[in-house]
Chains A and B, each alone.
Chain A
Amino acid sequence: MSRLNEENLRIARQILSRYPKKKSALIPLLHLSQEQNGMVTNEAMEHIAELVEVTPAEVLGTCSFYEMFKRHPVGEYQINICHGISCHLLGAEDVLEHAEKSLGVKEGEITQDGKFSFEGVECIAACTEAPCLQVNYRYVNRVSSDEFDQLVTDLKNGQNTQIPKHGTLAKTRQNIQSEKLAGPAEVESASPPVWLQRNKEDQ
């Protein structure tokens, strides 16, 4: 059930065709599966392993390295509250405490309606805007307790349309305008990457 569905499998094949080595498509395919299920399931990892011709253990090794790939269910809106040094000094702990109270769940849990989950994260590189947080990796700066509640209410009522649901990060990547693409548009016309020669992998 949580393998890639037919539509995503078509996209997966398209992604695979962009790389000279199938293995290179591993991370884009993990994004694709997270887009489908809101998390990366074991079945999806097995499916990706088949597609890129590596073992499931190798997929898990890569997937588990990156925090943004979730291997457990998260809410539709995953809130990452920064508790790096700047945010910490400017009240990140208060925000975390407030989030726990206001959402009624502990860090890492999902609200009953399945909409929200939150966790404290290391510095998200927005120290000038402390205390800050991300909702599905979209920044919300200088949050107070009230602003946090307002944010949650807006998301719940569908009044905030800026932030897509969790896992839809990959959507933007699928719609890059051709003039904005980096490198040659056609794989065939590209010269082979330097590392391929250096590692003698194409021999």
Chain B
Amino acid sequence: MTEIQQDSDLISVTIDGQEVKVKSGEVLIDACEEAGVDIPRFCYHKRMSQVGMCRMCIVEVDTGRGPSLQPSCMMDVSEGMVIDTQSEEIKKIQDGVLEFLLINHPLDCPVCDKGGECPLQDQTMAYGPGETRFVEEKRHFEKPIPINDNVYLDRERCILCDRCTRFADEVVGDPLIQFIDRGNSTQVNTFPEDPFASYFSGNIVQLCPVGALTAKPYRFKARPWDLEEIESTYPNPLGDRIVVQSSRDQVLRLQGLDSEAVNWGWLSDKDRFSFEAFQSEYRLDNPLVRGGGLNKADKSGTGLVASSWAGAMSIITESLNGADPDRVAVIGGARLTNESQYAWAKLAKGIIGTDHVSADLGDDLQPHVLLGLPRATISEACQPNNTIVLLTPDLKEEYGTLFIRLRDAAKNLGVKIIELSPMRTALSADAAVSLHPLPGEIGNVVQAITTGDIPREIGGISGEDLSLAHSHLKDTNVFVIVSRSSMGQSEEPIIEALTSLQEVDNCRFLPLVRRANTMGALDMGMAPGLLPGRNTLSSGSSVFSDIWPNLPTESGANTKQILQKAADGDIDTLFLLGADPLTDFPDKALAKAALERTNTIISVDLFVTPSVYESDVVLPAASFLEADGSHTNVEGRITPIRQKITPPGTARPDWMIAAEISHRLGHDLGVDTPEDIWEELGSRSAVHGDLDYRKLDHLPDGHLITATGRIPFIPAEERIETRPVDSYAMRLILGRRMFDQGTVTQMSPSLTQLAEKSELRINQYDFERLGIIEGAQVEVSSGGASISISVKVDNRVRRSSALIYSNLEGADPRELLIEGAHSIDIRIDPTVKESA
């Protein structure tokens, strides 16, 4: 929780005899810490509210009325305050507090996972009694009990500091763990049979100051003193900062790193526990080729068999040597580090000479939207009294830590959120206005809100609600967070909405992307028509032409066009860089046709995805745990990714693979290390030039790229007419769940059981109107296509619309999408029976 800085004036206080200047209004415990005086504490955490539960931080405070004992977490500093943290009295109190805390705390430290990194253990050594005087029986509980699939609770060890319960309630809004009972019987627990089903449950394990909460993936795997650690970045769109901890070349745990600019130390469970996936037995560890492998050639010549790098490379060189650059294409690259993206962009555009390079998979905003709008950071948006307009899906599902930041902004900073999501989300309760326009109508709704030209009703939103939203745009700084909220809505209505919002004074934008390092990919030129450093092919070719000898002259194809070309037989060699068009591209049939027609498909990936399975050559790549580099988040913030372990088998960093292919094509890519790449980039790119790469590890908030305006935003020209829903149809929303069918969730044993099956979710009203039986299979159709799917009541979905999470196991709702339509109307036939 952040304090609103009312008064940034410095005041002077005396701490342990030293006069120091501290910020007015600061909490005493923080002021002491900044003055270099360490105060022991258990319950206090600067990202949460103060509760004064543990009494460990008591200090002597004299405000002119004589010294008094005060918990330093519950008191703000004031002018002239004299603080003593070392007096005999304080030492006695610290000793006493610890003796009381240890009354019921079992001394099972030798078998406790926390032992060695335990604040209670450390502070007892530093401030506590050497021996206990307590001879009575300690309290006993069943130990440990699972409170969800991944977190265990040992109530005997709990010292009731309220950190986990505060986190659940205040930070993420999942108050599913509580103090139960009273006095000596107080315990933390869930409601019977109602697990702590939070997307952020791993954080409470990291928060716990004793060994009461432990995470299943780490239990009994290592002792803290055996762990080595390195600060890195989790490659998700927000670039959450992490600490990677390993022992004997095996990553055992990811911890959140408190970064003021980004994640505040929090991580979603999907990211925290996903390290398992990167070490799973299903990781690719050797090159694969179709048919004639090394030793065990597939006699039928149709399967993928193990090969060598030399073998795989010779197939690749054969297909590229003398090839027409226009018949070579690259899809993907969002998984890669900035450096690897530069290397691949250089290989594709500068060496091979094709501009058919696209990191996007047809489900993100276009480069001109991502790069062209005046950009804001998360912290700039989350300032008191700002207004934030959300054109996003449920952020809790897809952008966990951003959800936490926005929730804090709305609850504690007075930020007004105007939510324009297709359905009710986890932020709706805290939003000033929460509106759910019908899919396809967002452009019309936003236009009414920004202009104040309010119709009686539009897009399913009443004039009254539109006026209310309009009123929040006045006399304030407006920030817009935008993403492709639903695949059931095309990009045009969003661009139309952004065009209206651009007209609002001082409006700034934070466009979100679906995949990890998509922003880096754009900045490194992995999009048609782009070169690194936000140069275009036309404006920047002179900058790069001496080191990128074969630069194409004409702008190439985006992913959709590449797949179209491939399906028409116009692509001979297709690189898939961690891309799985069969799973992710909205038009599955097109992706399938493209992969079938292409002669040579070369995949660089970590796992065998459906698209990798269709490839001819598969090269194993190193994951973010196994290679050095950097990452660019949605704000344009560059933070380091650091190698902690060695890659499995012969897997290599992606940039090295690009350099190898280039070498075999007779060109030296000119890079031997990631630093080389950065030096080359820095010398050419004005955008990246002012970053001192060697200092990146020491920049707590990373390096922010601020250049805008180099790639202009292309506003919408035509207005999309509003389209009413007829009473038999429903407007389709395609959402995404945190735990999904994706490889990361599926390859992590701790996460796979959390993924659900796909269902059609509709409002109770529509459910009754259609006369459906809950859980029944129904036939859902749009255009000519139909799928069979079970139905569930979900009142977060508004009337006349229907939600399917598209990334779950079961019916594939991509079948229902209609090429070129701004929104999709579906019809539900409730009469189809289970057997059908």
Contacts and interface: CB of A to CB of B under 8 A. Distances in A.
A187 interface: no
A57 interface: yes
Given A42-B192, A45-B191, A57 B176 contact: yes
B141 interface: no
A55 interface: yes
Contacts of B180: 60-61, 64
A57 B194 contact: yes
A163 interface: no
A54 interface: yes
Interface size class of B (residues with CB under 8 A): 10 to 19
A60 B178 contact: yes
B182 A65 contact: yes
A56 B190 CA distance: 9
Residue of B174, B176, B178, B414 with most partner-chain A CB within 10 A = B178
Interface in B392-425: 414
A58 interface: yes
Contacts of A55: 174-176, 191, 194
Interface in A36-78: 42, 45-46, 54-61, 64-65, 67
Interface in B161-194: 174-182, 189-192, 194
Contact of A61 (B179, B192, B194, B414): B179
A67 B178 CA distance: 17
A203 B432 CA distance: 8
Nearest to A58: B175
A203 B410 CA distance: 10
Nearest to B181: A64
Interface residues of A, number: 15
Contact of A57 (B181, B182, B190, B414): B190
A56 B177 CA distance: 10
Contacts of B192: 42
Contacts of A58: 175, 178
A25 to B, nearest CB: 17
Contacts of A59: 191
Interface in A144-166: none
A54 B175 contact: yes
A192 B393 CA distance: 35
A64 to B, nearest CB: 5
A64 B179 CA distance: 9
Contact of A64 (B175, B182, B190): B182
Contacts of A57: 175-178, 189-191, 194
Contacts of A42: 191-192
A-side binding surface: helix, strand, loop or mixed?
helix
Given A42-B192, A56-B191, A60-B191, A65 B181 contact: yes
Contacts of A56: 191, 194
Contacts of B174: 55
Contacts of B191: 42, 45-46, 55-57, 59-60
A53 B177 CA distance: 16
A56 to B, nearest CB: 4
B756 to A, nearest CB: 20
Residue of A45, A59, A60 with most partner-chain B CB within 10 A = A60
Interface in A1-59: 42, 45-46, 54-59
A55 B192 CA distance: 12
B388 to A, nearest CB: 16
A59 B190 CA distance: 11
Contacts of A61: 178-180
A198 to B, nearest CB: 15
Nearest to A200: B414
A67 B182 CA distance: 9
A64 B390 CA distance: 40
B401 to A, nearest CB: 22
Contacts of B181: 64-65
A60 B176 CA distance: 10
Nearest to B179: A61
Nearest to A54: B175
A67 B414 CA distance: 39
Nearest to A49: B191
Nearest to B192: A42
B212 to A, nearest CB: 17
A14 to B, nearest CB: 24
A56 B193 CA distance: 10
A31 B414 CA distance: 36
A45 to B, nearest CB: 7
Nearest to B432: A203
Nearest to A53: B429
A65 B192 CA distance: 16
Nearest to A63: B180
Contacts of A45: 191
Contacts of A54: 175
Nearest to B180: A64
A91 B353 CA distance: 99
A91 to B, nearest CB: 26
Interface string B696-739: 00000000000000000000000000000000000000000000
Interface string B744-769: 00000000000000000000000000
Residue of A55, A59, A203 with most partner-chain B CB within 10 A = A55
A81 B425 CA distance: 51
Nearest to B412: A200
B158 to A, nearest CB: 15
Contacts of B177: 57
Contacts of B182: 64-65, 67
A46 B190 CA distance: 13
Contacts of A203: 414
A63 to B, nearest CB: 9
A161 B177 CA distance: 43
Contacts of B414: 203
Residue of A54, A61, A65 with most partner-chain B CB within 10 A = A61
A65 B181 CA distance: 5
Nearest to A65: B182
A127 B178 CA distance: 35
Nearest to B429: A53
Interface string B41-65: 0000000000000000000000000
Interface string A180-195: 0000000000000000
Interface in A111-162: none
A55 to B, nearest CB: 5
Interface string A77-100: 000000000000000000000000
A81 B343 CA distance: 81
A18 to B, nearest CB: 22
A64 B185 CA distance: 10
A119 to B, nearest CB: 14
B257 to A, nearest CB: 30
A54 B191 CA distance: 12
A64 B174 CA distance: 20
A60 B182 CA distance: 12
Residue of B177, B194, B414 with most partner-chain A CB within 10 A = B194
A65 B182 CA distance: 5
Nearest to B185: A64
Nearest to B416: A203
Nearest to A67: B182
A60 B165 CA distance: 14
Which 10 interchain pairs have the tightest Cβ spacing? A61-B178, A56-B191, A57-B191, A57-B178, A64-B181, A64-B180, A57-B176, A65-B182, A60-B191, A55-B175
5 contacts: A54-B175, A55-B194, A57-B176, A57-B194, A60-B180
Given A56-B191, A59-B191, 13 more contacts: A42-B191, A42-B192, A55-B191, A57-B175, A57-B176, A57-B177, A57-B189, A57-B191, A57-B194, A58-B175, A60-B191, A61-B179, A67-B182
